[in-house]
Amino acid sequence: MGFAERPVLVFWETTRACPLSCRHCRASAIARPLPGELSTVEGRSLIDRLLDFGRPYPTLILTGGDPLQRADLPELVGHARAQGMNVAVSPAVSDRLDAETLSTLKSLGVAAVSVSLDGGTAATHERIRGVPGHFGRSLEAIEAGVRSGLRLQVNSTVMSGNLTELPRLFRTLYSLGVRTWEVFFLIRTGRGADLEEVTPTEAEEVSHFLYDASRYGVLVRPVEAPFLRRVRKERDGPAPSHGGSLYSALHHELEEGMGPPSQPSSLAPKGTLDGDGILFVAHDGTVYPGGFLEYRLGNVRVDGPVALYRESELLRRIRTRELHGACGTCPYRSECGGSRARAFVHSGDPLGTDPACLFAQGLTTRA
């Protein structure tokens, strides 16, 4: 079941250096690189060891911090591409991200670039990102990315402070030509520990809104919200009641601005979880099941990533859905499995129940 032999995505946090101070940053990124980040030689070695997973190789996602802060980024991308590995880059929107940089990334063979936009208004986005004027620069970066011909993905974080702006944000992205929207449900880790997560009811209603949004020809990808797969299954079948004032308001604004949706949902019926299709390598080589699940598996300076992924007892249990509590008995555990990162942050148990899932809350109440 799942991705037992190899991940489909390996995230490498190339650096913690970043010009932004985002309020929800997992990495608590800083202005300068931290001591101990993997060197160019070590980075090339990491790429070579990922080839041991065999074909099809995992896609390597270079993230941070801001990977554009690394002068050796072109060399690292070039080395991975020379081995036949697909590479994506997730840069911060800064003065370094311009049309010339995007052109260079395309010429190097980068498959996709992702940038972030976290609000439908400048006030909300800039409150989260911590940089005045950043909303306009982000829109410019998105437009430049679309024009570049690179596959552009926009990442947005769902938190209590921006829920009502999601329809406006979606319309903005659609109008700019964005056709891949990755929506991350906040995990309270790093700087995000001080922010307020959405409640289970809000998460449920936003999930139904995202199902609606996924029917406009935009690929919607949830992150740390695998319960959207359950919502898709429900909505594709005899849809249960999914009312509620928040959903009603989001749904009304979406259709008012976009018209009724006319396409099948783009939400995947199954997907990855931390440790099940995903592996994360931190700036210092520490390996985690995912970027938000800080459960140390080992370090690539001394451990092989293939062995860490395939032989970890924790990852085996995640992949076979040997989970605890409501997530362990849920009829949707195969396609969903709950956020392992959120369970770990809230309970200290990476196999525990995802507290953001309203369906799991109902199972707990009935138990």
Is 128 found in the same domain as 35?
yes
Query: For the ranges 1-5, 69-73, 132-136, 340-344, which has the lowest average pLDDT?
Result: 1-5
In a domain, 218, yes or no: yes
Mean pLDDT to the nearest integer, 14-33 = 72
Radius of gyration, CA atoms only, the chain:
20
CA atoms of 153 and 7, how far apart (whole Å): 20
Question: Residue 273's closest CA among 354, 364, 191?
Answer: 354
Tokens of 142: 């998105």
Is 213 found in the same domain as 94?
yes
Q: Domain range spanning residue 365?
A: 321-367
Alpha helices in 92-244 (DSSP H): 99-108, 122-129, 134-148, 166-175, 200-213, 227-236
Q: Which run of H or E residues covers position 182?
A: strand 180-185
In a domain, 289, yes or no: no
Per the model's pLDDT, the better-predicted residue between 244 and 142 turns out to be: 142
Is 326 found in the same domain as 240?
no
In a domain, 41, yes or no: yes
What mean pLDDT is reported for the chain? 93
CA atoms of 114 and 181, how far apart (whole Å): 9
Taking only the tens place, the pLDDT of each residue in 240-259 is 667 789 999 999 999 999 99
pLDDT confidence tier of residue 23, bands split at 50, 70 and 90: low
Is 229 found in the same domain as 340?
no
**β-sheet bridge partners, residue 62:** 12, 89
Residue 130 corresponds to which amino acid? G
In a domain, 353, yes or no: yes
Is 138 found in the same domain as 42?
yes
Is 177 found in the same domain as 65?
yes
Q: What share of the chain is helix, strand, coil (3-state, %, to 5)?
A: 40, 15, 45
In a domain, 264, yes or no: no
Residue 1 pLDDT = 44
Q: What angle do CA 201, 202, 203 make, to 5 degrees?
A: 90
Angle of the 73-82 helix axis to the 40-50 helix axis, nearest 10: 20
Is 348 found in the same domain as 205?
no
In 243-281, which positions are buried (b, 16+ CB within 10 angstroms) versus exposed (e)? eeebbeebbebbeeebeebeeebbbbeebbbbbbbbbbb
Is 228 found in the same domain as 92?
yes
Is 226 found in the same domain as 344?
no
Domain boundary among 215, 233, 258: 258
In a domain, 314, yes or no: no
Is 209 found in the same domain as 342?
no
In a domain, 286, yes or no: no
Q: How far apart are the first and last CA of the chain?
A: 27
Is 343 found in the same domain as 219?
no
Q: What angle do CA 339, 342, 348 make, to 5 degrees?
A: 120
CATH code at position 64: 3.20.20.70
- Considering the entire predicted model, what is its pTM? 0.94
Domain boundary among 242, 258, 274: 258
Domain boundary among 258, 276, 295: 258
**Polymer length in residues for the chain:** 367
pLDDT confidence tier of residue 237, bands split at 50, 70 and 90: confident
Taking only the tens place, the pLDDT of each residue in 266-299 is 999 999 999 999 999 999 999 999 999 999 999 9
Is 241 found in the same domain as 353?
no
Taking only the tens place, the pLDDT of each residue in 295-324 is 999 999 999 999 999 999 999 999 999 999
Q: How many domains does the chain have?
A: 2
Query: For the ranges 7-11, 24-28, 132-136, 177-181, which has the lowest average pLDDT?
Result: 24-28
In a domain, 193, yes or no: yes
